[in-house]
Amino acid sequence: MTLKEAQTEFTHRLDVFKREMERRGRGFQWGERFRSMARQGELYAQGRTTPGPIVTKAKPGQSAHNFRLGQDIIPMLDGHRCLGAKLQRVGYWNDVREASRLAELTWGGNWRMRDYLHLELPDWKLDSAVRPTRPR
């Protein structure tokens, strides 16, 4: 699969995810998809060589976002953006887990270093078309 084909497949699976979330009555907005290598470098530096908490363990070229194969979501409850414990209480993450499974997406909420807002194409790193590239 070329990178372009992988991106198309990912977009298709995100559509399936969106429809399933709608079917379950769960609202969300799309967050970040593409992240440049330079931006990834800034995020990786945070908490290591620059101030702030550590937010990622991915260096430039190690995040699915660098290849448009990752997508963040912004949960909505009652028409408002929502982050925090309430999502857990109302079972929101269970629906994200099930919808991502149905859409054959990897969900960051299943990771050891949890990233509840993150979806990506499974096994994207195995694709030979995906290699770290220099920022233009």
Q: Where do contacts with Zn ion occur on this chain (CB under 5 A)?
A: 70, 72, 118
Among 3, 135, 1, smallest CA distance to 67 is for: 3
In angstroms, give the least distance from the CB of 116 to Zn ion: 10
DSSP H or E segment with residue 80:
strand 80-81
Nearer to Zn ion, 32 or 127 (CB): 32
Residue closest to Zn ion, measured at CB:
118
Q: Output the smallest distance, CB 118 to Zn ion, in A.
A: 3
Q: Which is nearer to Zn ion, 92 or 116 (CB)?
A: 116
Residue 34's H or E segment, with its range, is none
Looking at the chain, the number of H-run helices and the number of E-run strands are 4, 5
In whole angstroms, how close is the CB of 14 to Zn ion at the nearest point? 13
- Closest listed residue to residue 69, CA positions, set 31, 1, 122, 30: 122
